[in-house]
Chains A and B, each alone.
Chain A
């Protein structure tokens, strides 16, 4: 079942001579449990695409269906609810709130969704324990390693049980070993949590966890190839 369905999506910046098509008539489907890796050179439009898919940027034309709902037609007031309930974000620079502990960072989406603070903290604790961060609950981001920060970020993205996770360069700021750990984590989000995952990255290693690799250039899809998700998934599930 398609969680995300993008149809003829175009995003244009500027006008006249300065007009630039960042995304040019792109169509794409991402299914439940599928990991899609979008690769391409800097300025190819892949971040613009993921930003529109994340309901953070309005397309110039085209439609974005999230679980069948056309989010490109929603008003600015309706979009926060969609982002809160249907989308999870993982960022390159983690983007944790500096004054909050790991547990509180993860609890924020739950509190914003209306959960009581105590209940939200309990759920956040469970989410962090699941990602082996049970002993880091009360640490502030500055006291966490890069890999731990990204795991907290993944826990925050998953805590509201969204249909799709959008990850922007999730391994870029991590060393090789930690980057691999995050890759495995995202892989299990797809194959065990059955979430759709869209990753934008330059990191070729991520092909190992992707079902599909989409090459992007000048705002267009230029090539689609299979990833090695099944191998990695078998490795994670069966050890």
Chain B
């Protein structure tokens, strides 16, 4: 029945184009929306993931480093080092700062870098983070592009003049961008006095992570200890919890549009060919054989639409990132796979009503001229 389906499909080129276009649009919408979601999700966790720490220590009751400020005494280092299994403890300073830059609101997440380099930028694009001096800053390339800043340029941030020392990448996260200053400057900027925000702990090889975690929490009651993965997941929750319902609605709309288009075009093609289906029934083709032709037509339209939509998603994603620097997409193979599965599902659902229509066609009608 495959060749009948293919012949029927390609005979009606306009209908095929509408069907393929509808599915391609739905697939494009789903892949891009999901790509933006995955892109920001990935970016959100990329920096904390890059920091070489096995455990993050924060103030009890703090969820993540973006929403609530964590304050810990800056003299806990030795207490951590006294716990069996802890190899090193570094202090982490980080806070969101809003300021006016060239007449536009700018939000940065400022991180203090100490000599250990534990909190160094995700990836340097230009310049170096080593020997960063007070009064200097490393900014993200997205900010550099948007604000037209280059190495050596200066700008004012809440009364302090900062010179751009380097440009980093991977720090563009939805509503803010990472920037890096010296540890001392950060402490001064945040008015932290004798506090720090987090401690980053490295463990000796072979240490039992959960044992060390529990030892720290029982010895120092004011802290909460998270493994690196837990901390990254907590950071990502900012995206998942805020955006996932919106993404889910948009993906559902995409699926509905795709199903409706494929269903309507397959249905109208079936209606137009009702008499031919009646003839095939009369000469002995069964309902299941004819249903197969409809399913094949619907699946082929869906698969062609998927291929076109996926290619367009890559092209549009690439162009958008080039034009709008803060636009981030990440199209993962697993996402292409589930969208393909969704396309197959759309095609099968789209074929259902035409199949019902075929089963109701009376073959005796063919004797009426």
Q: Which of A86-94, A123-131, A183-191 contacts B (4 or more CB under 8 A)?
A: A86-94
A111 to B276 alpha-carbon distance, docked (Å): 16
Q: Which of B50-58, B101-109, B198-206, B361-369 contacts A (4 or more CB under 8 A)?
A: B361-369
In the complex the two chains form, what is the Cα distance from A84 to B290 in whole Å? 14
Chain B nearest Cβ from A217, distance in angstroms: 19
Given contacts A100-B4, A108-B4, contact A156 B283 (CB under 8 A): yes
* CA of A68 to CA of B3, assembled, Å: 36
Known: A95-B366, A97-B276, A112-B289. A80 touches B4 (CB 8 A): no
The answer to whether B1 has its CB under 8 Å from any CB of chain A is: yes
Known: A56-B363, A56-B364, A111-B1. A99 touches B282 (CB 8 A): no
Contact between chains at A80 and B11 (CB < 8 Å) = no
User: A57 at the A/B interface (Cβ < 8 Å)?
Assistant: yes
Closest to A173 in B: B369
How many chain A residues touch B (CB < 8 A): the figure is 37
Q: Mark B282-320, 1 if CB is under 8 A from A, else 0.
A: 111111010000000000000000000000000000000
* B96, CB-defined interface residue at 8 Å: no
Q: Chain B: interface residue count, which band? A: 20 to 34
Closest to B289 in A: A112
Question: Within B1-31, which residues are at the interface with A (CB < 8 Å)?
Answer: 1, 3-4, 7-8, 10-11
Given contacts A50-B367, A97-B276, contact A109 B284 (CB under 8 A): yes
A160 surroundings in chain B (CB, below 8 A):
284
Residue numbers in B under 8 Å from A161 (CB-CB): none
Complex interface: chain B residues within 8 A of A56 (CB)? 282, 363-364, 366-367
Residues facing B in A48-62 (CB within 8 A) are: 50-51, 54, 56-57
Q: Judge if B281 is at the interface, Cβ distance under 8 Å.
A: yes
For the complex formed, measure the closest distance between the CB of A18 and the CB atoms of chain B, giving whole angstroms.
20
Q: List residues of chain A with CB within 8 A of the CB of B3.
A: 104, 117
What residues of A have a CB within 8 angstroms of the CB of B1 in the complex? 111
A237 within 8 A of B: no
A98–B283 touching, CB < 8 Å = no
Contact of B283 among A50, A104, A109, A168 (CB under 8 A): A109
- 6 residue pairs A–B, Cβ–Cβ below 8 Å: A80-B286, A84-B284, A95-B279, A97-B276, A98-B276, A112-B286
Chain A residues in contact with chain B, CB under 8 A? 47, 50-51, 54, 56-57, 77, 80-85, 87, 89, 91-93, 95, 97-100, 104, 108-109, 111-113, 117, 156-157, 160, 168-169, 172-173
> Which B residues contact A (CB, under 8 angstroms)?
1, 3-4, 7-8, 10-11, 275-276, 279-287, 289, 363-364, 366-367, 369
